Amino acid sequence: MLSILNILSLLVSSVGFSLYYILSVKPARMERTKGPKAYQLAARYRMICSVYMAIAFVNFVLYRWLPLSFDPFPLRFPWPYWLSIVIALGIGIPATILMVVAIRDAGKETLAPEKDHTLYTGIYESIRHPQALGELCIWYVVALLLDSPFLLFISVLYTPLWILWCFLEEKDLVIRYGKSYEQYRLRTGMFIPRFHLNKQ
C-alpha cells in the first residue's frame, strides 16, 4: 500500500512541477494579458514548482525502499555497485559544479524572473541552460547511487520534459529580449558549451 501511495505521489508531484514550471517560464507572454504582475506570478509559479519537485525527489528516493510489487525492472543493475558509484561521480561532480556556477551567475532570476534583468553573463556566455542540464543529471546520479533500474527509467522519461521546458523558456526570452536574444542563441550552445577562443 505504501509503495502505491509513494508512486502515486511521485506521479502527481511530477505533473505538478511540470505544469508550474511551464507557467513560470513565460512571464513575457503573461504580461500581455496580466500586465505588470506577470513577473510576480512567474516567481510564485516557480516557488510552487520547487515544492512539487522537492516532493517528487523524496518519492523518487523512497522508491528504493518502497518498490512496486509488479515492478517490471530488475531490483538492481547487472553490474557491480562500485561501477554505478564511479559513473554517478563522473556525472554528478561536473553537474553539481555546473549548477552552482549557473545559480551564482543567474542570481535572483533562478527563482524570481525580473522584467528589467539583462541577459546573463558568466557561464551563460557559453551555454544557455546550465541549470537545467545540471538538474536533470542529478536524477540520473541518484538513480545510479540507489542502484535502481526503475529510477533510471524515470530519469529517462524526465529528459524530454526538461528539454521541452528549455524550448518554451527560449520562446519567452525572444519576446522579452528580442533580437539580442536571437543573436545570443547563435553564439552559444543550448546544452553543450560553445567556447569562444578568439575572444579579446
Give the count of alpha carbons within 13 A of 129, CB side only: 20
Would the pTM count as exceeding 0.85? yes
pLDDT tens per residue across all 200 residues of the chain: 899 999 999 999 999 999 999 999 999 999 999 998 999 999 999 999 999 999 999 999 999 999 998 888 999 999 999 999 999 999 999 999 999 999 999 887 777 777 777 777 899 999 999 999 999 999 999 999 999 999 999 999 999 999 999 999 999 999 989 999 999 999 999 999 887 555 44
Alpha-carbon distance values, 28 to 143, 162, 179 (Å): 36, 20, 15
Does the structural domain 2-68+78-187 have CATH classification 1.20.120?
A: yes
Say how far apart CA 22 and CA 119 lie, in whole Å.
Answer: 20
Q: Which helix (H) or strand (E) holds 152?
A: helix 149-177
- Closest of 182, 99, 159 to residue 134, by C-alpha: 99
**Dihedral Cα 200, 182, 173, 21, nearest 10 deg:** -90
Phi-psi region of 65 (alpha: psi -120 to 50; beta: other; left: phi over 0): alpha
Extract the C-alpha cell encoding 90. Answer: 563522473
Sign, Cα dihedral of 6, 156, 72, 90: negative
Residue type, 180: S
Say how far apart CA 44 and CA 160 lie, in whole Å.
Answer: 24
- Which sequence spans correspond to the domains of the chain? 2-68+78-187
Q: Would you report the helix, strand and coil content of the chain in percent, each value rounded to 5?
A: 75, 0, 25
Residue type, 146: L
